[in-house]
Amino acid sequence: MADFMGMMKQAQNLQAKMADMQAELEQAKVEGTAGGDAVRVTLSGKGQMVGVTIDPGLLKPDDREMLEDLIIAAHEDARRRIEALTAEKMQSVTAGLKLPPGMKLPF
């Protein structure tokens, strides 16, 4: 019974840490870049695009396709950074957590 109570306490602690981590991620802003920083995309911790900066030198009508590709590349860079930040935060939250054999966290 003591092991079960210990597991319940661990689960409650994990739940509190997860809530803190989610609140922290919601406040985070991550920037992705492309084209040697000519295009910058800023995403919130939830993955919403909150900003785009484009070097004025790229604003030429005949370079539209290149600009579109750079925006996509910068967004992808920012998305990868959000995933890495989330994984890093998750690692710190679950570090030292002793789960029964075969049990995994659902994230």
pLDDT in tens, 83-96: 999 888 888 777 76
Q: Checking DSSP bridges between strand 29-34 and strand 39-44, what pairing results, if any? A: antiparallel
> Which amino acid makes up residue 94?
T
- Residue 89 has a CB neighbour count (10 Å cut-off) of 19
Sorted by where each begins, the domain ranges of the chain are: 29-94
Look at residues 58, 61, 64 and name the one whose alpha carbon lies nearest to residue 39.
58
pLDDT tens track for 1-52: 567 777 788 778 888 888 888 888 888 999 999 999 999 999 998 889 999 9
Please, which residues have CB within 8 angstroms of residue 44's CB and are 6 or more apart in sequence?
Answer: 26, 28, 29, 50
Average the pLDDT over 64-73 and give the result: 94
pTM over 0.75: no
Residue 107 has pLDDT above 50, yes or no: no
State whether residue 93 is helix, strand or coil: helix
Average the pLDDT over 57-85 and give the result: 93
Q: Domain 29-94 belongs to what architecture? A: 2-Layer Sandwich (3.30)
